[in-house]
C-alpha cells in the first residue's frame, strides 16, 4: 500500500484553516509589548495637539523681518518668555517678539520662530539680522497625525514605537488578543534531564528547551513543560494535562517504531487527526490534530526536524491565533555561495548562513544537514528552499531563503 503524504502547501493550508483567533481583551499598556492589536487605533485628536515652536528662540511675525539684514537689523520689543508647559495665551502684535522654548505653544499673533543663535539681545529689545519665511520652525496642530487617522493597524505587533504612540494618545489600555497558552511534552525513555550525566544509550533532552525558547519569542504563555518516558500510562496522564492548553506540542513518538506510542494514544484520547506525514524534509512524520479548541502538533524527536517544523507550521499558527498581520518572516532571494548537488524527492528546507554583500543576499548551505544535528541549528540563520526532485543547483543561482530569528557568530 502506497504511503499517503500531504504536500507542504496543503498541510499548511489545513493548519491555517483550523486556527481560530483567540478572544479580544483590553490589556494595560505597560503589559502590551509583544501582543497584536485586535483593531485599528484611530487618532482621537491631531498631533501635535497645538501649534508649537520647533526650536529655542523668539516667536515673531514674519512680516516684521521682511527687510532685516546685517547692515539694517530690525529691533523688536521683547515680551517675556514661554516655556514648555505654559499656556502661551499672551498675544503679540507687530513690533513685538517673545522668547520661546522648544515645544512651547506658539502665542497668538506669531507665525514663525527665529532660532536663538540668530539674534542679539539689546536691553529690552531683540535685534534680527535676516528675514524668515512664515511658518518656519513651527510645528502645526495635526501636521504629524490628523484626527481620525489610523495610526496603527489591526494585527500590528506592539513594540517600543507603538507603545510611544499609544501613550501619546492616551491609551492606558489597548485592544489585543489573548496570548495562546502552550504546553510542551517531550517523550522518550532514552532522555535524561539537563543536569544528569547520560549513561549508555541515553541522551540529554533538548527539544523542550528549544521549543520553549521559540514559544517565548512569540510572547506566548508556557503553562507546561515536561519530559516523560515511553510508558503509555504516564504518557496518557501527561497528554491529558497538556491538552488543557490552547496548543499542545508533543515531541517524539510520532513515527512507526514499537515504542512510538504518542500518535495512537492521542487518538484514543479523542484527538482528531487532521494529517500525519508530509512531503517535507526534515520532518516527514509531522502530526497535526485537534481536540475541541486545542491544537496538537506532534513533532519528531530529532531537534533539527522539530526546529524547522516549528518555523514553518507552529510559529505562523501561533501568530494567527494572536491575530498578527505578519505570520512569518518573508522569503528572500539569495545567491548560492556553493552548489547544492544532492536534492531529494521531498521538498527540502536546508539550513544555511544568510548574509548581505554588495546590496544583495548570499547564502551558504551548511555541510551537515542531518535531522538530529544540534550543531547546524547554532550555525544557521536561514532555511534554503529546495524543491522536490529539483536538479542540482549551481553556485551563483538564486534561491528562496527563509530568514531565521537566530543570531550566528
Residue 137 near residue 57 (C-beta atoms within 8 A): yes
CA distance 151 to 103: 22
22 - beta bridge partners?
none
CA distance 214 to 12: 19
CA distance 314 to 317: 5
What average pLDDT is seen over the chain?
95
pLDDT of 62-74, one tens digit each?
A: 999 999 999 999 9
Is the residue at 370 inside a domain? yes
Tell me the CB-side half-sphere exposure of residue 221, using CA atoms within 13 A. 11
Residue 333: predicted pLDDT: 98
- In Å, the largest CA–CA distance within the chain is 101
Shared domain check, 308 and 339:
no
CA distance 137 to 163: 27
pLDDT band at 196 (very low <50, low <70, confident <90, very high): very high
DSSP letters for 121-166: EETTEEEE-S---TTTTEEPTTSSB-TT-EEE-TTPBP-HHHHHHH
Compute φ and ψ for 216, nearest 5 degrees. -70, -25
CA distance 58 to 385: 61
Compute φ and ψ for 386, nearest 5 degrees. -115, 120
pLDDT of 83-114, one tens digit each?
A: 999 998 889 999 999 999 999 999 999 999 99
Give the three-state DSSP class for 81: strand
pLDDT band at 314 (very low <50, low <70, confident <90, very high): very high
Residue 154: predicted pLDDT: 97
Q: Which DSSP letter does residue 362 get?
A: E
Is the residue at 256 inside a domain? yes
pLDDT band at 370 (very low <50, low <70, confident <90, very high): confident
Domain of 390, CATH number, reads: 2.40.340.10
Residue 364: predicted pLDDT: 97
CA distance 389 to 370: 19
Shared domain check, 171 and 32:
yes
Domain of 101, CATH number, reads: 2.170.190.11
Residue 3: predicted pLDDT: 67
Average of per-residue pLDDT across 267-288? 96
Strands 191-192 and 150-152: unpaired
pLDDT band at 2 (very low <50, low <70, confident <90, very high): low
CA distance 299 to 309: 7
Residue 32 near residue 163 (C-beta atoms within 8 A): yes
Shared domain check, 227 and 171:
no
Is the residue at 326 inside a domain? no
Q: Which residues have a Cβ under 8 Å from the Cβ of 175 and sit 6 or more positions away?
A: 24, 25, 26, 27, 37, 38, 39
Is the residue at 56 inside a domain? yes
Average of per-residue pLDDT across 379-403? 97
Average of per-residue pLDDT across 188-213? 94
DSSP letters for 309-360: HIIIIIHHHHHHHTT-S--SPPPEEEEESS-B----SSEEEEEEEEEEETTE
Shared domain check, 212 and 73:
no
CA distance 35 to 25: 11
pLDDT of 6-38, one tens digit each?
A: 999 999 999 999 999 999 999 999 999 999 999
Is the residue at 327 inside a domain? no
Cell of 205: 533532552
pLDDT of 225-239, one tens digit each?
A: 999 999 999 999 999
Helix or strand (DSSP H, E) at 234: helix 232-242
Is the residue at 151 inside a domain? no
Shared domain check, 183 and 229:
yes
Shared domain check, 135 and 189:
no
Shared domain check, 283 and 212:
yes
Average of per-residue pLDDT across 37-58? 97
Average of per-residue pLDDT across 174-195? 95
Shared domain check, 171 and 41:
yes
Residue 364 preceded by cis peptide, ω within 30:
no
Q: How many structural domains comprise the chain? A: 4
Query: What is the percent of the chain where pLDDT is above 70?
Result: 99
pTM, 2 dp:
0.88
CA distance 399 to 397: 7
Domain of 16, CATH number, reads: 3.40.980.10
pLDDT band at 376 (very low <50, low <70, confident <90, very high): confident
Cell of 372: 538530529
Is the residue at 408 inside a domain? no
Residue 119 near residue 57 (C-beta atoms within 8 A): yes
Shared domain check, 13 and 40:
no
Shared domain check, 118 and 186:
no
Answer whether residue 162 shows pLDDT above 70: yes
The count of other CB atoms within 10 Å of the CB of residue 46 is 17
Q: Give 3-state DSSP helix, strand, coil % of the chain, rounded to 5.
A: 20, 35, 45
Strand order in the sheet with 96-100: 112-115, 57-60, 96-100, 74-82, 125-128, 119-122
Residue 104: predicted pLDDT: 97
Listed residue (60, 100, 97, 108) closest to 83, CA to CA: 100
Cell of 23: 478572544
Residue 1: predicted pLDDT: 47
Residue 21: predicted pLDDT: 95
Shared domain check, 225 and 111:
no
Shared domain check, 168 and 42:
yes
Cell of 152: 496603527
Domain containing 288 equals: 8-22+178-321
Residue 103: predicted pLDDT: 96
Is the residue at 192 inside a domain? yes
Amino acid at each position: 500500500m502506497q504511503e499517503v503524504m500531504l504536500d507542504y502547501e496543503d498541510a499548511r493550508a489545513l493548519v491555517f484553516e483550523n486556527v481560530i483567533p483567540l478572544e479580544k481583551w483590553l490589556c494595560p499598556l505597560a503589559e502590551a509589548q509583544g501582543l497584536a492589536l485586535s483593531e485599528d487605533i484611530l487618532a482621537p485628536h491631531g498631533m501635535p495637539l497645538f501649534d508649537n515652536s520647533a526650536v529655542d528662540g523668539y516667536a515673531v511675525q514674519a512680516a516684521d523681518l521682511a527687510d532685516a539684514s546685517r547692515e539694517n537689523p530690525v529691533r523688536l520689543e521683547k515680551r517675556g518668555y514661554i516655556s514648555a508647559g505654559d499656556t502661551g495665551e499672551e498675544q503679540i502684535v507687530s513690533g513685538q517678539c517673545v522668547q520661546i522654548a522648544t515645544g512651547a505653544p506658539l502665542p497668538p499673533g506669531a507665525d514663525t520662530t527665529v532660532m536663538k543663535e540668530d539674534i542679539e539681545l539689546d536691553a529690552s529689545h531683540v535685534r534680527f539680522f535676516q528675514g524668515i519665511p512664515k511658518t518656519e520652525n513651527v510645528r502645526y496642530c495635526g501636521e504629524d497625525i490628523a484626527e481620525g487617522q489610523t495610526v496603527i493597524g489591526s494585527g500590528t505587533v506592539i513594540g517600543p514605537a507603538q507603545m510611544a504612540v499609544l501613550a501619546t494618545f492616551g491609551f492606558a489600555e489597548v485592544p489585543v488578543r489573548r496570548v495562546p497558552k502552550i504546553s510542551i511534552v517531550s517523550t522518550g525513555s532514552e532522555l535524561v534531564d539537563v543536569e544528569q550525566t547520560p549513561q549508555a544509550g541515553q541522551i540529554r533532552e533538548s527539544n523542550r528547551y528549544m521549543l520553549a525558547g521559540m514559544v517565548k519569542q512569540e510572547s506566548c504563555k508556557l503553562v507546561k513543560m515536561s519530559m516523560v518516558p515511553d510508558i503509555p500510562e504516564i504518557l496518557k496522564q501527561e497528554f491529558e494535562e497538556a491538552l488543557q492548553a490552547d496548543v499542545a506540542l508533543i515531541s517524539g513518538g510520532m513515527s512507526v517504531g514499537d515504542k512510538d506510542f504518542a500518535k495512537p494514544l492521542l487518538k484514543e484520547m479523542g484527538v482528531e487527526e487532521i494529517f500525519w506525514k508530509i512531503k517535507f524534509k526534515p520532518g516527514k512524520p509531522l502530526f497535526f490534530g485537534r481536540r475541541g479548541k486545542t491544537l496538537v502538533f506532534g513533532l519528531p524527536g530529532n531537534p533539527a526536524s522539530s526546529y524547522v517544523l516549528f518555523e514553518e507550521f507552529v510559529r505562523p499558527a501561533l501568530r494567527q491565533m494572536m491575530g498578527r498581520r505578519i505570520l512569518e518572516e518573508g522569503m528572500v532571494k539569495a545567491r548560492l555561495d556553493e552548489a547544492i548537488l544532492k536534492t531529494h524527492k521531498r521538498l527540502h528546507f536546508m539550513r544555511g548562513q544568510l548574509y548581505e554583500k554588495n546590496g544583495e543576499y548570499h547564502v551558504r548551505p551548511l555541510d551537515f544537514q542531518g535531522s538530529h544535528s544540534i550543531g547546524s541549528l547554532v550555525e544557521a540563520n536561514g532555511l534554503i528552499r529546495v524543491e522536490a526532485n529539483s536538479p542540482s543547483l549551481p553556485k551563483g543561482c538564486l534561491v528562496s531563503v527563509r530568514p531565521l530569528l537566530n543570531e550566528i557568530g
